[in-house]
Amino acid sequence: MANADYKIGVVGVGRMGANIARHLNDEGFKVVAVYDAAGERAQELASELDTTAVDKLAQVTELADYIITVVTDDDSMRQIYSDDADDSLLKGASGTVFINCATISPQAHVDVENLAEKHGAESLEGCMASSITQAREGTLYLMCGGKKATFDKARVILDSMSVSLRYIGEAGKAAQVKALVNMVMNINTAGLAEGLGLGAALGLDLEMLQEVFAQTGANSRVLETDGEDMQIRDHECYFSAAHASKDSGIALDLANDAGIALPLAQATKEQYDRMIELGLGELDKSGVAELTFPGRGKNS
C-alpha cells in the first residue's frame, strides 16, 4: 500500500499528537480526522492540515482505518474507549487498528486491547521515549506491545513515525519498559539538578562542572539535554514535571505490585510533586533545578 492509502485519525492533538499528525501528513499519509477534548485545538490543526476536525469520537472511527491516540492518563484512555458511553472510539470499530501512544499504565493497554477485540478491532501500544521535536521529525524511539500481527499491519505508519522501532511483546509489556525508561530518566534529571545545585552553592564554574560530569561516571543523556537549561533557567516544556510525576508513579505502582522498594524513584516523584504544589508542574522536567539551586524556589 502507498502512504496515501492509509486513512489515519489522531485523537489528542496536544504538542505530541499534533506533531505526529503533521509529520504523517508531510509523509503523504491521509490524515482524515483529528479530535481533541479542546475543540479549538483540533480546529486549528485541521485548518493547518486541510483535514476534518470532528467533535465526536465515533466520527474518527467512521472516517479512519488507523487511529493514533495520545491522551493524558488512564482515565482519559478509558473514556475514549468506553464500552457503554454514547460516544466512543469503539462505535463501529470493526476492522479498525488503534495505535495508543500515551504513557499510561500497562493494565490500561491490556484492557483496551480486550475491548478492541470485543468490537472486532485491533489495538497496539506505541510507547514513545522521545519528545516533541522527534514527533515532528518522525524520529521517535518507539516501543510497541500487542499482537505481532497488528504490529506488522501498522508497520508502515510506525516506521514513518520513528527512527528506532522495537517490538517488545504482548500488550502491557512496552508500557512496562516505558515506565522504567521514564523512571530512570527522572531519577537522572533530579540527580543532575542536585549536583549542579550543590556546585552552584559551592561557587564552582558550572560549565566546567558539566564538562567534568560528561567525561566521568556522572555522565548521562540528561546532562546533554538538560544541564545547560538548568544552569540558565530555560525550562521551556518538552516533557513536563507533571508528566514526570505521573510516569514515576506508574513505575512505583509496578514496584508495589512486584513487592520491591524503589527509594530513589519515590524521592524523585516527591520532588516533581513538590513542583506541582508550587505551581511549576507545567515547566519542563529540567525545572526540578528550581528546587535545588541556591536562591531559587525552596532554597531561596
> At 37, which CATH number?
3.40.50.720
Boundary residue ending a domain (170, 205, 240): 170
Which CATH number is 283's domain given?
A: 1.10.1040.10
Residues of the chain with pLDDT under 50: none
- pTM here is 0.91
Same domain, 48 and 152: yes
Same domain, 137 and 7: yes
Report the side by side order of strands in the sheet with 162-169.
Answer: 30-35, 7-11, 66-69, 97-100, 122-128, 140-146, 162-169
What is the extent of the structural domain holding 295? Answer: 176-299
Same domain, 36 and 154: yes
Please give the Cα distance from 176 to 154 (Å, whole number). 21
Q: Per the structure block, which three cell numbers stand in for 112?
A: 483496551
What is the per-residue pLDDT for 254?
97
Please give the Cα distance from 149 to 113 (Å, whole number). 13
| 97 membership: H or E segment, kind and range | strand 97-100
| 42 membership: H or E segment, kind and range | helix 39-49
Name residue 114's amino acid.
N
What is the per-residue pLDDT for 31?
98
What is the per-residue pLDDT for 129?
87
The Cα-based distances of 291 to 3, 235, 247 in angstroms read 47, 13, 20
Same domain, 275 and 231: yes
Same domain, 210 and 113: no
Strands 140-146 and 66-69: unpaired
Same domain, 111 and 260: no
Decide: helix, strand or coil at residue 145. Answer: strand
Q: Per the structure block, which three cell numbers stand in for 130?
A: 522521545
Same domain, 146 and 73: yes
Split into its structural domains, the chain has a count of: 2
Q: What's 162's DSSP letter?
A: E
Boundary residue ending a domain (132, 153, 170): 170
Boundary residue ending a domain (170, 202, 217): 170
